[in-house]
Amino acid sequence: MAYAEKRGRGEYPWRVKYKLPDGSETSASGFRTKNDALKHGRDQEADVRAGRYHDRSRGDIPLDDYFWSTWLPAQRLSDKSKANRKGEYRAHIGPRWGKRPLNELEPFEIQKFENELRAARSKSTADNVMELLRFMCEDAVFAGMLKSSPVPPKRRRGQKEPDTSRKGVAVDLATVEAIRARLPASEAMLALVAAFTGMRWGEAIGVRRSFLTLTAAADGKPAAGYYVIDKDIGAVHEDERGRRDFGPPKGGKGRAVELPPFLAEALLAFLETFPKSRDLLFVNRALEPLRRSGFSKESTPWRRACDGWAARDAVQGHPALLEAPAIHAGLHFHDLRHTHKTWLADDGIPPVARDERLGHVTPGMDGVYIHATPAMRRRVLAALQRRWETFQRESQKRSPMDLPKSGSRAA
């Protein structure tokens, strides 16, 4: 039973004592009157009897300690996702809230933080940071460290935010080949593999000889082959410090990607350009997996190939450089995956066969009851081979000056 006692002569002299769920006694001070103190104590005991009592002191832990020592170790995340969460916390949440006790986070302060974040950062960055903060606080509620989450719900009233996120694009084969013509040999082969297999970035740069099966053309049969994306080590992952290692592909499921004959032939020739002791096909100068930044920064071969470059006079031993127009400004390497699936749809390949090839899950009941068949897979290879051969025939008739101008702008 709660009881109150007067302690001192100040403006708030009353203290109340009450029982906790484990039977021990605790107290709360700072009440103006005896009735105020008793009301608080009886409310706490009512919560104890109803099973909804919250011990506010459990949330006294600083947010930094909660994130690094409590919350993050309890999560089941891939290495890439964990690296992303660490980066989001270090860059945005920690500097603002890291020293603040968990139970002192205020809803309106967090709403202000979100508004500032959305004004300064991209929609995807703001969404990811707020999602992390929301997950952290919801888990704290579940663990009894908070009574309720101070993070506003995801759906908010008021002005709807414009969707400024970049949308993927698909390009034609002429555009892909024009870009490849400007790339070094290894990067050009990587782009060809991505465009005709639909592999993700980490899967494509992780292609290894030991998981690749190729058969040369013989006895009237065309070249053939397939690549196994291993469910455990089929993709290269890069953490926030740029360290790379092999891990499972996105979704955690492996798959075998069959190759059209022309690509099997091209890969056989490409393998002859480096020692058989080298397993990884696409490497940097240190014979390590490529970095994502090598295909995103302005000065990289991929960006220059897509965006073009300005004319340059001869300087310090470097020859003069003629201006090269953009082929498709702003094209991302991941757009080759969009391109591959679009080509398959354009050729009438069933959705389940397209999804199987790209490692997607077919939505709805079709994903449960419809399965890709060998005939569907043969249709995929025939369509890709036909697209390549058609382009080769037409390119022989085309003028060398007829480069694709879709999405181009002066460099």
Domain boundaries, the chain: 3-53, 63-142, 173-397
Cβ atoms of 305 and 179 closer than 8 Å = yes
Q: Residue 12 has what pLDDT? A: 85
Number of neighbouring beta carbons within 10 Å of residue 55: 15
For the chain, list residues with pLDDT below 50.
404-411
Count of beta carbons in the 10 Å neighbourhood of residue 374:
7
Q: How many CB atoms lie within 10 A of CB 32?
A: 12
Cα four-point dihedral sign 18, 20, 23, 24: negative
Fold of 173-397: hpI Integrase; Chain A (1.10.443)
Looking at residue 155, its pLDDT comes to 57
CA 142 to chain centre: 27
The fold of 63-142 is DNA polymerase; domain 1 (1.10.150)
Per-residue DSSP letter, 25: E
User: 339 and 195 in contact (C-beta within 8 Å)?
Assistant: yes
Are the beta carbons of 134 and 152 closer than 8 angstroms?
A: no
Question: Element (H or E) spanning 190, and its range?
Answer: helix 185-197
Which H, E and C letters describe 92-134, residue by residue? HHHHHHCCCEHHHCCHHHHHHHHHHHHHHCCHHHHHHHHHHHH
What tens digit of pLDDT does each residue of 54-66 get? 666 677 899 999 9
Residue among 325, 317, 285 at smallest CA distance from 410: 325
Distance of alpha carbon 3 from alpha carbon 250, whole angstroms: 59
Rounded-to-integer distance, Cα 252 and Cα 230, Å: 9
Instruction: Indicate whether this model's pTM tops 0.85.
Output: no
CA geometry: angle at 375 spanning 370 and 379, to 5°? 105
The reported pLDDT for the residue numbered 36 is 87
State what percent of residues in the chain have pLDDT above 70. Answer: 92
Burial (Cβ within 10 Å: 0-12, 13-18, ≥19) of residue 163: exposed
Half-sphere exposure of 194 (CA within 13 A, CB side): 27
Write down the pLDDT at residue 408: 36
Q: Residues 189, 197: contact at Cβ < 8 Å?
A: no
Q: Which of 86, 81, 95, 92 lies closest to 130 in space, CA to CA?
A: 92
The angle at the Cα of 218, spanning 216 to 219, to the nearest 5 degrees, equals 165
What's the pLDDT score for residue 59? 75
Residue 2 and residue 16: Cα distance in Å, rounded? 7
Q: Cβ contacts of residue 305 below 8 Å, gap of 6+?
A: 179, 180, 182, 183, 327
| pLDDT for position 405 | 45
Place of tokens 């059209």: 260
In this structure, the strands spanning 25-31 and 14-19 are: antiparallel
Q: Which residues pair with 341 in a beta bridge?
A: none
